[in-house]
Structure 1
């Protein structure tokens, strides 16, 4: 994918952010077999929504809403804030940060340094890893944006926006 294609998918993304993320996005899509136009359209649509067109790699909210959320692994005081959403897919919860650490054999030590997910390479890699871990290529292949959204978001927050990004992505990627 080139910069112009990404700009067509996320027209409100700044040129600087497109430059910052384009190579990492291409590497991530290759690494996690997000390798058909339809898979890429779904992946990029979700990232477009979750990151506000590549503007945010850290959740704007404080994370206090995640305090005590055992389903996210937030069992100690402060976990909600410490492990709030980060990366282009907004990885959330101590359990998810730990799972990524396990996947990378602790190379990034995210449990101690969750802010590292805000770096462009990890912001994209974590998104691809989460996508792969949840077998989202399967639902992208079925063109099931609702199922993809439910797994990423836990609900359907922002579904219309996600669908708008998907429409733009399908046009830009000719699928």
Structure 2
């Protein structure tokens, strides 16, 4: 959720280094951080109104950058206040925010510490950042309203966030026509469950579902009575089992250890897509992430290389195989840009230019999803056609 801007590069977390990671006040520093991240996001998006439903304040110990604040308090006034995130102003106690349509104060961010109060207030102020200076108009702009019409179950706030990112990067990656944008939205919409889930689900609770999706002879270790050496690969497949499994039959039963466990993805994603054997843990570490659900160590390595070769990123290099992997799921900006690098690297715009047909959606879905036909093909087709219709209104 946190969005980093040039004016707010500091991090925030519960507790302070060198001290017990405890919670003070009402014991809810996570709630404090959650509210600050919402404010930071809205400020960076130049939002002048944010309606809060059942807001909850709190007090907790947090570390902002290198500054430890023992008691940082979030306090709301009124029921379900509508805040103007750009109205922030410093006070002797902290930072105040007024209502969207008046000067009435509806939110305080207060530093209750007595020691170094000014320094601590300044740290929070810097973390929240400033509004973004808009200096680019996309060739083919998309609005949050359009996205909400395409994905009606997705909250408007999320649609607004994604629209801003699409408009920020669409020209760079030449996703700048109704056809190209419709295909892009149709694919990422299905991959992310309506722009919401930036990481693939790895918890399969139903053994029958596991068997239906992953029940193949090469994944013999899934089944009771069959054992594979999980530390080895047989070319691009897991090692064969003892005894040998010849075919999938109705009496085969999935082992308990694979139910709602990373072990399922470690095994079924092993020995391919650049991943090592099941024991390496590569499968669950490099499962689908970002808007396009990049999958496999090889893809993460490739996107890291493409990102770092772009002169635009010379001061913002990434190691998506290592330290920066979580940014693809936790930072919407990085998630969108990384996904568009994949789109461009695979020349998908050329496929999109051929039209919104079953054949083209299938071709593009196969590139994005890695299977042919792609999973949820009908949904991809429906969302792509819907997007194309709405974008052409």
Normalized per residue, the structure richer in strand is 2
Contact 2:145–2:159 (CA under 8 A) maintained in structure 1: no
1:158 aligns with 2:376: yes
Cα displacement string for residues 33-92 of structure 1 (whole angstroms, at most 9, x for unaligned residues): 01111000000010110011111001111432554233x100260111111110011001
Contact 1:57–1:87 (CA under 8 A) maintained in structure 2: yes
Normalized per residue, the structure richer in helix is 1
Structure 1: distance between partners of 2:385 and 2:269: 35
1:136 pairs, out of 330, 333, 348, with: 348
1:43 pairs, out of 178, 184, 191, with: 184
Gaps of 5+ in 1: none
1:95 aligns with 2:307: no
1:75 aligns with 2:276: yes
Q: Which has the larger radius of gyration?
A: 2
Contact 2:146–2:390 (CA under 8 A) maintained in structure 1: yes
Contact 1:66–1:84 (CA under 8 A) maintained in structure 2: no
Could you say which residue in structure 2 is the equivalent of 1:149?
A: 365
Alignment of 1:11-22 (within 5 A): 11-22=152-163
SS at match of 2:171: helix
Q: Say which is worse superposed, 8-17 or 83-92, in terms of deviation.
A: 8-17
SS at match of 2:170: helix
Q: How many residues align?
A: 174
1:6 aligns with 2:147: yes
Contact 2:198–2:290 (CA under 8 A) maintained in structure 1: yes
1:16 CA displacement? 2.3
Structure 1: distance between partners of 2:200 and 2:276: 20
Superposition TM-score, scaled by structure 1 size: 0.93
SS at match of 2:194: coil
Cα displacement string for residues 123-162 of structure 1 (whole angstroms, at most 9, x for unaligned residues): 1112111111111001100121110011111222100000
1:116 aligns with 2:327: yes
Contact 1:44–1:169 (CA under 8 A) maintained in structure 2: yes
Structure with higher RCO (Cα < 8 A, 6+ apart): 1
Could you say which residue in structure 2 is the equivalent of 1:53?
A: 194
Superposition TM-score, scaled by structure 2 size: 0.43
Structure 1: distance between partners of 2:271 and 2:346: 20
Gaps of 5+ in 2: 1-141, 203-261, 309-315
SS at match of 2:336: helix
Q: Say which is worse superposed, 2-11 or 79-88, in terms of deviation.
A: 2-11
